[in-house]
């Protein structure tokens, strides 16, 4: 945590000409997410070695308790700890800046909506990494990242194929008007492509985005339950 705090100070705040009251949410959000994913991918690191794996499974607790502890630690705990570190450092830097310079800075925190979306985004990917932790014995983080990339490539290819088929091939796609500016979900209606209304499409997408992590978390639980040492 200390090292993490120092990195924040030296990389972002101790530069004199930097606007200290600007909180770079995207950058630090990415760092918090990255640390959470590393933590998630290595949460079952004790299973990588036979001796520690035996110790883990033989400790008297149910698999549900062990999984819940790992889940909470790798998601909520890690996110909260890293977020507090970032915010504390930001607070300290702004305070020091105000004390030693003429600048009168104020602490700008990201909006609650932004924070909530960021949190949900981290949880979505957390499910991939916790599943990777139960599947891969060595380098679970890198292997999970590769799997995610591959998965999105496959989803992209399938989606393109379906869309191409739906629109009657490449020639059919070319016949559509593509110069519509898409600012909102309702703009999709202008494309006149959908079999159903936009609201249904949004609901399907929401359900998919909710069900994917839930399925992955449940799969990770059963992988942990049935894993042999």
Partner 1 sequence: MNFAYSKKKKIFDDLSLTIEGGHIYGLLGKNGAGKTTLLKLMTGLLFPQSGLTTAFGIDTKKRHVNMLEEIYFLPEEIWLPDVNVDGYLKMYANSYPRFSHELFKRCLKEFEIDPVDKLKRMSLGQRKKVAISFALATQCKILIMDEPTNGLDIPSKGQFRKLSAELIGDDRCIILSTHQVRDLESLIDTVIILDDSHILLNSTMDEICNRLEFKTLGSLENQPSVIYSEFSTRGYLAVTPNMDGADSKVDLEILFNMTTQNANLMKQLFNH
CB count within 10 Å of CB 153 equals: 10
Nearer to partner 1, 39 or 144 (CB): 39
User: Using CA atoms, how far apart are residues 108 and 97, in angstroms rounded to an integer?
Assistant: 14
Contact 196, 209 (CB under 8 A): no
The CB-of-46 to partner 1 minimum distance in angstroms stands at 8
The CB-of-59 to partner 1 minimum distance in angstroms stands at 6
CA dihedral 120, 123, 128, 132 (to 10 degrees): 170
Nearer to partner 1, 48 or 105 (CB): 48
188 Cβ contact partners less than 8 Å away, ≥ 6 residues apart: 182, 194, 198, 201
Q: Which residue in the block uniquely carries the two structure tokens 């983080």?
A: 141
Contact 115, 26 (CB under 8 A): no
Nearer to partner 1, 47 or 130 (CB): 47
The CB-of-67 to partner 1 minimum distance in angstroms stands at 12
Nearer to partner 1, 47 or 122 (CB): 47
The CB-of-115 to partner 1 minimum distance in angstroms stands at 34
Site of interaction with partner 1 (CB under 8 A) = 46, 49-55, 57-63, 225-226, 228-229
């Amino acid at each position: 945590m200390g090292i993490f705090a120092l990195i924040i100070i030296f990389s972002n705040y101790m530069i004199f000409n930097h606007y200290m009251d600007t909180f770079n949410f995207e950058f630090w959000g990415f760092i918090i997410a990255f640390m959470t994913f590393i933590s998630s991918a290595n949460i079952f690191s004790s299973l990588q070695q036979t001796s520690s794996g035996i110790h883990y499974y033989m400790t008297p607790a149910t698999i549900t308790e062990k999984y819940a502890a790992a889940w909470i630690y790798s998601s909520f705990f890690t996110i909260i700890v890293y977020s507090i570190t970032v915010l504390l450092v930001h607070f300290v830097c702004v305070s020091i800046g105000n004390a030693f310079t003429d600048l009168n800075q104020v602490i700008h925190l990201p909006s609650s909506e932004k924070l909530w979306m960021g949190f949900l985004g981290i949880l979505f990917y957390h499910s991939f990494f916790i599943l990777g932790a139960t599947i891969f014995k060595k380098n679970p983080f890198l292997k999970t990242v590769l799997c995610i990339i591959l998965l999105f490539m496959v989803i992209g290819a399938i989606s393109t194929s379906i869309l191409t088929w739906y629109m009657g091939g490449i020639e059919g796609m070319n016949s559509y008007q593509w110069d519509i500016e898409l600012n909102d979900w309702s703009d999709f209606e202008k494309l006149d492509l959908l079999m159903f209304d936009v609201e249904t499409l949004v609901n399907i997408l929401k359900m998919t985005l909710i069900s994917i992590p839930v399925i992955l978390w449940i799969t990770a639980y059963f992988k942990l339950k049935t894993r042999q040492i």
